[in-house]
Every structure is written in structure tokens, then in C-alpha cells.
Structure 1
């Protein structure tokens, strides 16, 4: 089993961007101290839901601030950047950290960053597979040229060249993307918006159950389930609601709004929220039902830095040992 902490770097009400970024670094350091195996960083643009516009850049800072823990991106968005540029960053981080960097990539969404960065809807809708292939080829080559529908360049040397490429996983929210990952033998990174049954079905569709797939969860520890749910319902919608409003389609296509209170309740029903025994039982059940042995936990939902650090410490001390004992 591997256990990680998933960090959005959401901006809480009344908090500035500097404070959000600083507490994210401190949470990563706390995760290493609490015995977690890795930390995963979300990437967003132009919204308070997450104030990390470059997950590799933040990963580099955290890798320099830690000694043992691995750091991954969940995810770096391929649709709004050049895959060679991302591959160069991943190679450099892997080399500098002694192999502690992990690269999670995703298609992203039809948001306005496609307009700002000039990649456009066509790259988003049609170019993900080619972008992924180019990134993978770069990480495995010493020299590379390319001719495709979206990218074309003459052969150039790959510098820096990682002898062992960093592990790559793919965020999957549809069977089509699951197929792209499966065809390339890559593990899936599955989000917290779906439960165990949907994740088990995705693993079955993928066809390679023994790959190191990753499952994302909301996690909140309290003395009782009632206390944990009450805390999340009071605090999570305060930052979640304004954050979700930041998802603006690039072409102004209609997008239904999501009720942050209802969504918080939904997440509480799906994930390890409750006493240490409740959380341990939920995580063990996920591993048994899905076959996934790498679980990453969003631990910063309670709306304050102190609550996040306390939650990470309790998860590490009171929950993870119970899960590992059950699944040995």
C-alpha cells in the first residue's frame, strides 16, 4: 500500500495567495513527518479553487524542502502547454530529487486557459493522445524528432535525459481516456467525485488491474463521524463554492452550477470521513473493492491551516497503521 496527501492549495475566505501557497508547502512537510509516502499537487488557472498554476514548479520547491517523500502532479494539464516543455521539467525534477518526482497528466477541461495560452479547443478535444505520446517519447529518448497532427519538429537532443524516466499516470474521467491510458500501459489516476463501484468498473475496463492505479479521496478525521461531517459541512462550502465558479468554458458553452453544500454531502458519503476506525474501514474497503493499492487523501477541506495540519497528523498516526494492518 502507498498513501499520499492531495493538496489543492485552495484559497480560503479572507486568505491571500501567499498564505495559501505557504500553508500548502507546510502541509507537504507535515505529510512527510506523519509517514505518508507521497504528496500530490493540483494545477489550476485563474481561480481560487487552487492557486498553483504550475504543479511542477511547486513540486520542485517541496522536493527541496523534504528528504524522503515523493511528490507528484495531480495533474499537470497537457491541453494548455507543450508536452516537450513539461517532459523537460519532469526529467529535471526527477534527476535533481533522486527519483522522487512523479508526473500525473490529464486532458483538463474546456476552460478559458485554452484561450489564454493559445492552445485552443481543438488541442483539448482531439490532441490529448498525441500530446501524451510525445511526452512519453521524449522521456524515453536521447534524441527525438516529431511529425504529427498537432506537433512537428526536426530531431533535437533530449537534455536533460533521465536514465530512468519518472513514473507517469493519467487522470481518467471517461472510458475514452481510460482506453488511451491502457493502450500505453499507464496507470490511471481516479478522482474523488466517484465512488468505489465506479472506480472498480474503470479498473476492469482498463484491463490491467495490476498497474499502480491511484484513487483520490476526501479524508477528515474527528472523534466521531457526526463531528467530522459537521465540520466539513460548515467549512468546505465556504471555499468550495467560490472556487467552483472559476470553471469558465472557453466558448461560453452552458455549464450547470454545482451546489457546494450538496456536493460536500456527496463527498462525505463516499469517502473516509469520521472516527479513525471509520476512516480506516473506508480506506480498507476501497482497496478491497477496487484492487487499487495507492490512495491519496485530500486533507485540507476543513478550512484552516491548523485544521489541515491536525488532520494530516491524525491520519498518519491513527488511521494509516490500522489500514496497513488490515491489508497485510
Structure 2
């Protein structure tokens, strides 16, 4: 197994049996494959969500990114609405909306409308980063200092969704009284401390920024203050998964993932040759890019299940949210089926 994260002993339940993995969710970046169109990517996102629903995944989240030709989830609320209309039961949401890019009132109206259209199915993860570069931030017409107001903007947004606006005479219609569940997203101590202080769920972006995972998880649990929204901490931890029927096929897919990540991060707007990718894989810049993928489980379903169980135990995760970064869409769908059959099903049996 090409196991990228630290190995931990299997989780055990109070009666001494294996507890299995916690609930699994999916983070879908609506990847636009080479040679495919944005419309293709959006159709594939619907297929992924429907497969995740059938396989027992907890939720599917979409991330806000701008000015990235390989990612089609920039208009996150619109994509959530589209997928929600093509699914029935799975929870859907943002993982997340980059709040400094938006007015809290507008976000409350958008996700309040989603909650009215699809009651009990909508989540809202909130991030402090812009999700883009400085020039694109200017094009979004947002002040770069907006991130400094993130804690206040979260409270303003939460108040709109509760029907208890902090601005006299202003309410979110729709949105008021929907109380859409909020999660703070982060990859540092700041988000962990804020989520703990506000009594909200916390999702750590270890699928691309694993360095502070253990520290942030510990801060969140140690400092969590119960709130109206959440009585106990709920920690969601992200990881990448490359799973196939055989180790050889998983290794082949993992190599494709590594090469695709090098092309995306180091291509600088041009198409790299295979020889150039080979050189970059072994370069300091390539090593830095691949370090971002340290929280990755690669292997057969049984190997991945064992790995995810230990990974979740190591950080006391209440839920894992997975990306399946393989470029081939059919392989992504099959990965979700394998996770449903061998990880979600096994975990439900162990918990039951």
C-alpha cells in the first residue's frame, strides 16, 4: 500500500470490538478532466453525488475556487442547488464558501433558499481564505482586509439564518429561521479556536494542508464550548483516497494523481511533457507539492479501510471527508462503490 499518512492501531469500541471508521463524506472539486468540458464536469458531479448517496455517504461538499480552469465549483450555491435537484436524501453543502468574498446577507439568502427547497439536507462550511490569487480577489470586488472580519461575519450570517439579525431592520428572506448548520473550515489553529469558541463543527483541510492537523484537532476538542448549534465537538477531517480492486491498479492510479498534481501546480499555464513531469517529481518544488498529499490512503479496499480507521482514531475524527483525486471519472465512481461496499458497510456493521 502506498500509505501516505501515519499508521495508527485499529480503533476499538467500548466492548473491545473493532469500531470501524466513522461516517464518510465526499468533497467534490468538480474537476474538469483534460479534454473534457465544464458541462462534462458538472454532469460527473451529479453522478458522483448519486453514487455517494447510494453507497451511504453522509454528505457531499463543494469548494469555492476562482480562476482555476480545472475546477468547476466556483458558483458553489448554484452547484449545490443543481445536485440537490438530482438527488433525494444525501446532505449537500459548501466545503466551503469563502466568506470574505461575499456579503453575509447574500450567503444567508442563498443557503436559506437551498434549505427551504431541500429541508434538512443543506450544510454551510465557511472559510477565511479567498480561494484564489490576489488579482482575482480584486476582480471579485472584495477588500483584501475582509478576512480580518471573518469571526464577526460568521456571527452575522448565523444570526440571519436564525431570524435574529444583528442589524436592526434587516433580515434574510429567504433564510430567516432556517438555521442552516454552520461549520468552520481551516488548516491552522485560527479556525480550530474560532470553531471551538463559537460551538460550531470544524473541518480540517488535511487533504492538501496536513501540517497542523494534530495540533488543530487537539485545540478544537480541548477548547470547545457547547452552544445552541452543537452540544459536543464535531471534527471532520479530510483525506485523499485512491482505492482499487488490486494493489497494482491502485498504484497505477496513484501515479496518475501525482503526475496530475504536478501538472496543475507547476505547469504555470502550459502543458508539461512527460519528461518534464519526471524531472519535477524529483525536484524540491515537486516534493513540496506532493507533501500536500501526505494524508492519502492508497490500496485495496481492505488496506484503505484499515488505514482510514487508524487515521480517524489518531486525530479523534467524528467524520472523514474524502477526495478521490484520480483523473478518470469511471475510476472515481468505482472508488465510491468500493468504499461503500468495504468501508462504509463494514463500519456500520462494527458500530452496530
- TM-score after normalising by structure 2: 0.79
Write the deviation string for residues 149-204 of structure 1: whole angstroms up to 9, x where unpaired.
xxxxx522332245341111011122123222222111211111355x84332122
Deviation digits for residues 123-148 of structure 1, max 9, x if unmatched? Answer: 13x12122212111111125x353xx
Query: CA 1:272–1:81 in 2, change beyond 3 Å: closer, same or farther?
Result: same
Structure 2 gap ranges (5+): 1-21, 226-231, 270-282
The alignment status of 1:117 with 2:140, answered yes or no, reads yes
- What is the aligned partner in structure 1 of residue 317 from structure 2? 292
SS of match in other structure, 2:33: coil
Alignment of 1:61 onto 2:82: yes
- TM-score by length of structure 1 reads 0.84
Going from structure 1 to structure 2, the CA distance change for 1:57 and 1:198 (only over 3 Å counts) comes to: same
- Structure 2 CA distance for partners of 1:311 and 1:240, relative to 1, 3 Å: farther
Gapped regions of structure 1 (runs ≥ 5): 147-153, 248-256
Q: CA RMSD in A?
A: 2.6
Q: CA deviation at 1:244?
A: 6.9
Alignment of 1:32 with 2:32, yes or no, is no
Tell me the alpha carbon deviations over residues 295-318 of structure 1, each in whole angstroms, 9 at most, x when there is no partner: 11112x221211111111111112
CA distance change for structure 1 residues 238 and 258 in 2, over 3 Å: closer, same or farther? farther
Q: Which residue of 2 aligns with 1:231?
A: 253
* Structure 2 contact 261–289 (Cα < 8 Å) conserved: no
Q: Secondary structure at the match of 1:127?
A: helix
2:296 is equivalent to residue 271 of structure 1: yes
1:43 is aligned, of 59, 64, 71, to 64
Give the 3 Å change call, closer, same or farther, for CA 236–29 of structure 1 in structure 2. Answer: farther
The equivalent position to 1:159 in structure 2, one of 150, 163, 173, is 173
Q: In structure 2, what is the Cα distance between the partners aligned to 1:21 and 1:56?
A: 13
* C-alpha spacing 1:75/1:303, structure 2 compared with 1 (3 Å): same
- Secondary structure of the equivalent of 2:43? helix
Shift, 1:223, TM fit? 3.0
Partner SS for 1:313: helix
- Residue correspondences, number: 307
Cα 1:164–1:187, aligned 2, differ >3 Å: closer, same or farther? Answer: same
